[in-house]
Amino acid sequence: MLLAGFVRRKPVPMVRCRTIDLEVPAEAEFVLEGYVDPDERRVEGPFGDHTGYYSLVDEYPVFHVTAVTHRRNPIYAATIVGRPPMEDCYLAKATERIFLPLLNAILPEVRDYWLPWEGVFHNITILSIAKEYPGHARRVMSALWGQGQMSFCKALVVVDHDVELTKPRQLLETILDSIDLESDVYLSEGVLDVLDHSAPDPLFGGKLGIDATRRLSGERERASLATSPVDPQSPREHVLAALRSVSPHLTDCCIPDLNCRHRPLLASLRKDGSVSGRALAKALLENPQLTPFSIVLLYDDGIDLSDGSLVLWKVFNNVDPKRDIIRVQGRMLIDATRKGPEDDHQRPWPDDIVMSPEIVERVRRRANELGIQDLLRK
């Protein structure tokens, strides 16, 4: 109610419930009254969730309804969730703007922050700060990982106050152009959102911090980049041949057109239970034909590697930083594939949310009526 009053800029009118000793907003569309027995659990799921995956089946508390009330002509608000961007993505944007002043009350050095849609709220946060002293970026990371629901955030990236967060491509190039993959990539561990499926254990797993701020006096200088420049005339087929020389399970590749020192290479890995990304890491990162790429990212076979939003979504959701990021001599492999026993991952792995062909066709037929015909063309 405090937050609601903050958003409204005035108190929220409250009324007594009918069957329980609580107050609820007087203008609520619907009110469900009831109780929860702390010792009672029932199995539920899987549900299509805002992560873009079907949530894992688990036991959860049971809510017993004692009354349902509503205002006259109530409106039942709902949103469609799934692989981003979907309707709920705009809640992330609202969250940024509403909570920035509250975040500044605790960390006044934070100038702005961004929750990329592909990070589904809790998997990555990018912050710009007014850096004042050595280690300042690390201190901000630690503070945020200890702050309320920000503690669920899996990856934090800190940039300088003058870096523009509203231009994603330019921001990505700035980060990849400035960081040292050894000293600026910080691996930790901590609590995770219940919907995170990538960690070996539920509710707890790896954390990733990236310090992309400028060095100050007293901070160790960044190491020079020990990779070869990418030859623009070198055909993609040569890179693919180098990948296949490492393993026949590597089936495709994509070289993003980014202007930065740390050039990423995206590769498809056909997994059949006999191979893992970790097992291929050393051979990939030491292959002389792949030295132009300081970051190799692995994806499941069949993923469209040219779809920027899709590959970011897979990285932010499918990676446990402590297990799936491997560094060798200043270069890095990131395994964004589905995990199984061959990866020492014993938990179930959820499926991507998919719309039935009937629903897809209905939406296409009604595109003009719904005003989304331009989105469908994209």
- Span 161-184, pLDDT tens digits: 999 999 999 999 999 999 999 999
Give the mean pLDDT of 53-67.
94
pLDDT of residue 228: 52
Q: How far apart are CA 328 and CA 294, in angstroms?
A: 10
DSSP string, 182-246: TTSEEEEEEE--TT--SSSBTTEEEEEEEE-SPP-TTSPPPPPP--PPP-TTS-HHHHHHHHHHH
- Span 277-293, pLDDT tens digits: 999 999 999 999 999 99
| Fold: same for 89-211 and 236-343 | yes
Give the mean pLDDT of 225-253.
80
According to CATH, the topology of domain 89-211 is UbiD C-terminal domain-like (3.40.1670)
- Span 115-150, pLDDT tens digits: 999 999 889 999 999 999 999 999 999 999 998 889
Can you name the residues that pair with 333 across neighbouring β-strands?
A: 296, 326
Are residues 171 and 159 in contact, defined by beta-carbon separation less than 8 angstroms?
yes
Of 154, 160, 217, the residue nearest 186 (C-alpha): 154
Taking only Cα atoms into account, the Rg of the chain, rounded to an integer number of angstroms, comes to 23
Does pTM top 0.85 for this prediction?
A: yes
Instruction: Indicate whether 151 pLDDT > 80.
Output: yes
Instruction: Indicate whether 378 pLDDT > 60.
Output: no
Confidence bin at 234 (pLDDT 50/70/90):
low
- Span 241-273, pLDDT tens digits: 999 999 999 999 999 999 999 999 999 999 999
pLDDT of residue 267: 98
* Out of 161-170, 212-221, 360-369, least confident range: 360-369
Give the mean pLDDT of 336-362.
92
Q: What number of other Cβ atoms are within 10 A of residue 263's Cβ?
A: 19
Tokens matching residue 344:
């020492």
Confidence bin at 159 (pLDDT 50/70/90):
very high
Residue whose structure tokens are 């300088």: 160
**Domains of the chain, residue spans:** 2-70, 89-211, 236-343
Give the mean pLDDT of 338-348.
95
> 49 an active-site residue?
yes
Going by their DSSP bridges, the two strands 185-191 and 58-70 should be labelled as unpaired
DSSP 162: T
DSSP 137: H
Are residues 289 and 238 in contact, defined by beta-carbon separation less than 8 angstroms?
yes
What is the CATH architecture of 236-343?
Answer: 3-Layer(aba) Sandwich (3.40)
Q: How far apart are CA 98 and CA 354, in angstroms?
A: 32
Are residues 292 and 250 in contact, defined by beta-carbon separation less than 8 angstroms?
no
Cβ burial, residue 12 (10 Å; 0-12/13-18/19+): middle
pLDDT of residue 243: 96
Give the mean pLDDT of 81-87.
86
376 or 36, greater pLDDT: 36
Annotated catalytic residue, options 37, 39, 49, 160 = 49
Q: 3-class SS at 268?
A: strand
